[in-house]
């Protein structure tokens, strides 16, 4: 039987891989002249300054919770549920695959990537790599990541965080696609017709 410490170590490995990859691309975007923080138009698209402040507070709270989980705070274990070890290790494997897929997506976007609903002045529509068949592969990888952490930790708190994150992304997508339509017009509408949202579009 695997000890809980081993699962926490696996969790740290996944988290470190994700943060390292994201940090690398944040630096790359910043060094190329791109913005990391949202501009006024991005804040408005996201729901206004109040929602932006909520996002910042939620992010800080999440980081604090992750630190407490890694430290093995006893109160967090109260929310654990039973899962067989093999299923929790499948969660770890799914996490590795999700980070790998996210990395492929980030490499494809390169300096066009932004965590905010904003585009660069020289932005161009990416339709290669994972974007050749789906419009939001980055979100697909995030869905996989959330599912992976829920299985690996076997903790209801992570399940709740994952569900809320997925709901938030689903709500965000129409705003993002509207931004792309306003920027690229018919070109993006044609792209929408031939691609799936989260998975490759099935063709007859």
Q: What is the pLDDT of residues 1-13, one digit of tens each?
A: 778 999 999 999 9
CA separation for the pair 33, 128 (Å, rounded): 23
Question: Domains of the chain (ranges plus CATH)?
Answer: 4-194 (1.20.120.1630)
Give mean pLDDT, residues 26-30: 93
The number of C-alpha atoms within 13 Å of 59 and in the hemisphere containing its C-beta is: 6
pLDDT score recorded for residue 46: 87
Q: Whole-prediction pTM value?
A: 0.91
The CA distance from 72 to 35, in Å, is 36
In this predicted model, what pLDDT tens digit does every residue of 53-92 receive, in sequence order?
Answer: 998 999 999 999 999 999 989 899 999 999 999 999 999 9
- Cα–Cα distance between 100 and 28 in angstroms, integer? 18
Is 100 within 8 Å of 92 (Cβ atoms)? Answer: no
CA–CA dist 61, 59 (Å, integer): 5
Candidates 192, 165, 197; CA nearest to 181 is 192
Q: Is the pLDDT of residue 203 over 80?
A: no
From CA 86, how far away is CA 98, in angstroms rounded? 18
């Amino acid at each position: 039987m695997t000890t809980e410490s081993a699962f926490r170590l696996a969790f740290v490995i996944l988290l470190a891989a994700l943060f390292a990859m994201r940090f690398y691309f944040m630096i790359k975007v910043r060094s190329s002249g791109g913005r990391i923080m949202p501009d006024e138009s991005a804040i408005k698209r996201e729901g206004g300054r109040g929602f932006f402040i909520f996002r910042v507070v939620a992010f800080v709270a999440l980081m604090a919770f992750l630190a407490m989980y890694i430290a093995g705070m006893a109160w967090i274990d109260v929310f654990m549920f039973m899962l067989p070890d093999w299923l929790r290790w499948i969660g770890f494997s799914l996490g590795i695959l999700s980070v790998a897929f996210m990395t492929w997506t980030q490499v494809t976007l390169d300096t066009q990537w932004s965590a905010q609903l904003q585009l660069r002045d020289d932005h161009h529509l990416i339709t290669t790599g994972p974007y050749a068949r789906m419009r939001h592969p980055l979100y697909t990888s995030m869905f996989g990541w959330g599912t992976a952490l829920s299985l690996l930790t076997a903790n209801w708190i992570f399940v709740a965080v994952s569900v809320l994150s997925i709901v938030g992304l689903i709500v965000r997508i129409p705003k993002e696609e509207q931004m792309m339509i306003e920027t690229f017009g018919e070109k993006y509408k044609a792209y929408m017709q031939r691609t799936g949202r989260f998975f490759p579009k099935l063709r007859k």
